[in-house]
Amino acid sequence: MKKLLLKKGKERALYNRHPWIFSGAVKDLPNSENGEIVQIFDYQQQLLGYGFFSPKNQIVCRVFEFTSYPITIDKQYWFHKIQRAFGLRKQLIDFQTTNCFRLLHAEGDFFPGVIADVYNQTVVLQILIRGTELILESIVEALLKLGFQYIYLKTKDVSHSIEKIQTDSGWIGNIGTTIIEVKENNIVFKVDIAEGQKTGFFLDQRDARRLVKEYAFGKTVLNAFSYTGGFSAYALCGGAVLVHSVDSSKAAIQLAKENMLLNGFSAHEAFCEDVFDFLKQTHHQYDMIILDPPAFAKTAKAVSNAARGYKELNLKAFQKIKSGGIVATFSCSQKIDKELFRKIVFAAAADARRNVRILHQTTQPPDHPINIFHPENEYLKGLFLYVE
C-alpha cells in the first residue's frame, strides 16, 4: 500500500481525529491512483491511519481509520464498519413503526464518501468519491449480507466531474421499484428514490416532524417548502384543522397530495408556488408556520446572500403568524452555523416587533450522528418559537 507523508506539525489534526487532509499538509503525495487507499504517516514515519486518496480534490485524503498499527483493509473490514453502523440504528429506531432511516452518514459513521439511506428493503446509496466507488462491491456485499434486498445507486453530477466517478445511477443486482412506500412513526409516505430530491426523502427531519405533531392540535398550519408533505402529514396526524403545503416543485406537490390521501388526511391544500411569492400574497393568518427551505448557502461566499434570504423569510413568517402561534424555522446550510442562524432569526423577530420565545431547538436525528471530531458534519438547525 502506498504512503502519504505529512509535513512536520501537520499531524495535529489527525491526532484530533479530523478525517480530512488538505493538500497543504502533505509532504509527499503518493504516486497513487485517484481513490486508492493509502497509509498516512507523520514526519517521523509513525503510522496515523488509512484514507481514500483524492489527488484532484482540495481534500487530498479522507481518513476512514485512525490507527498506529497496520491493519488489513478487506471485505471483512468494510462489512464490520457497516454492521456497526446498523447496530447503532437498531438501538435508535423502532423498526415496527419506522422503516426508513439513514444507515451510513459519511464521516458521521467514519465512512467518508458514502451515504446510505434505507427505505424498507431498499438501500439508496450515494457514492460521493472515487475511493468509495472502488470498494462498491464490498459495500454492496455487506448490505446484502445484512439482509437488505435491493440496492439503488444514486451518483451526483458533481461527483462525476470532480471525483471522476464512473458508475451511473441505477440498480445494482436485484431490480426493485423506484417508488417505495415507507412508514415513519406509523405515518405512510411514498418515496421516489430515482426522481426525488436527495435520496428521496428528508429523513433528517424525523424528530422535528414528530414535534410538529405534538403542537398541531386544532391549528391551521402553513408548511412552507413542504417537499412531499412530511411536516404536513404529521400536523394532520396531530389534529391540525387545515394544512397548506407550499413547494415550487410540481413533482413534490403531487406526491404531497398523494401522501395525504394515503393516510386518509383530507384537511389539506397544496400549492405549487414560490414560497416568497406565496407569503407576499396570502392574507391567511396561521397558528403555525413551518419554514424548511433548501440550503441557501452552499459555499462560504454565499453566506451573506443566504443570510438575507433567511431573514426575509423569517420576517414574513413573524408577520403572518397569529398571536400565540408557533413558527418552526430551520436551516440546513452547513455554512450557516447555529449562532448565526439564531442571530438572523432573532433580527427578523425584532423587525417584526413580536415577542418571541424559544420552545425547542432541534438538530439532525441520531441516525445522522455528528462525529465530534468533524464538526462540518453538523448541518441541521431548527427553532420552535412561540410568537405573541
Q: How far apart are CA 173 and CA 176, in angstroms?
A: 9
Measured from the CB of residue 169, what is the shortest distance to ligand SAH in angstroms?
19
Nearer to ligand SAH, 14 or 187 (CB): 187
Q: Which of 25, 30, 44 is nearest to 1 (CA)?
A: 30
For ligand SAH, which residue has the nearest CB? 230
Nearer to ligand SAH, 107 or 204 (CB): 204
Return the amino acid letter for 260: M
Out of 109, 133, 292, 367, the only residue in the binding site for ligand SAH (CB under 6 A) is: 292
Q: How many residues bind ligand SAH (CB under 6 A)?
A: 19
Q: In this chain, which stretch among 26-34, 87-95, 96-104, 290-298 interacts with ligand SAH, using CB under 6 A? A: 290-298
Task: Name the one residue in this structure whose C-alpha cell is 435508535.
Answer: 92
Q: How far apart are CA 199 and CA 116, in angstroms?
A: 8
Tell me if residue 1 falls in helix, strand or coil. coil
Q: In this chain, which stretch among 25-33, 144-152, 155-163, 273-281 interacts with ligand SAH, using CB under 6 A? A: 273-281
Nearer to ligand SAH, 62 or 102 (CB): 102
Out of 9, 173, 294, 375, the only residue in the binding site for ligand SAH (CB under 6 A) is: 294
DSSP letters of 371-385? -TT-GGG---EEEEE
Q: How far apart are CA 102 and CA 2, in angstroms?
A: 33
Q: In this chain, which stretch among 112-120, 165-173, 272-280, 370-378 interacts with ligand SAH, using CB under 6 A? A: 272-280
Nearer to ligand SAH, 21 or 191 (CB): 191
Measured from the CB of residue 380, what is the shortest distance to ligand SAH in angstroms?
11
Measured from the CB of residue 341, what is the shortest distance to ligand SAH in angstroms?
16
Measured from the CB of residue 212, what is the shortest distance to ligand SAH in angstroms?
9
Measured from the CB of residue 111, what is the shortest distance to ligand SAH in angstroms?
24
308 forms part of the interface with ligand SAH (CB under 6 A)? no
Residue 292 main-chain phi, psi, to 5 deg: -130, 70
Nearest-5° Cα angle at 55, 52 to 61:
35
Residues in 163-202 at the binding interface with ligand SAH, rule: CB under 6 A? 197, 202
Measured from the CB of residue 228, what is the shortest distance to ligand SAH in angstroms?
6
Q: How far apart are CA 84 and CA 207, in angstroms?
A: 23
Q: How far apart are CA 227 and CA 257, in angstroms?
A: 11
| HSE value, Cβ hemisphere, 13 Å, CA-based, for 249 | 15
Written in H, E and C, the secondary structure of 189-211 is: EEEECCCCCCCCCCHHHHHHHHH
Residues in 209-268 at the binding interface with ligand SAH, rule: CB under 6 A? 225-228, 230-231, 247-249, 252
Measured from the CB of residue 112, what is the shortest distance to ligand SAH in angstroms?
24
Q: How far apart are CA 355 and CA 350, in angstroms?
A: 8
Q: How far apart are CA 382 and CA 6, in angstroms?
A: 39
DSSP secondary structure code for residue 16 in this structure: T
Nearer to ligand SAH, 129 or 253 (CB): 253
Q: Where are the alpha helices (DSSP H) in the chain?
A: 12-15, 75-92, 130-134, 136-145, 157-163, 206-215, 230-237, 250-262, 275-281, 303-320, 338-352
Task: Name the one residue in this structure whose C-alpha cell is 452555523.
Answer: 337
318 to 337: interface string for ligand SAH, x by CB under 6 A: --------------------
Residues in 104-143 at the binding interface with ligand SAH, rule: CB under 6 A? none
Out of 74, 214, 274, 388, the only residue in the binding site for ligand SAH (CB under 6 A) is: 274
Question: By the criterion CB under 6 A, which residues form the site for ligand SAH?
Answer: 197, 202, 205, 225-228, 230-231, 247-249, 252, 274-276, 292-294
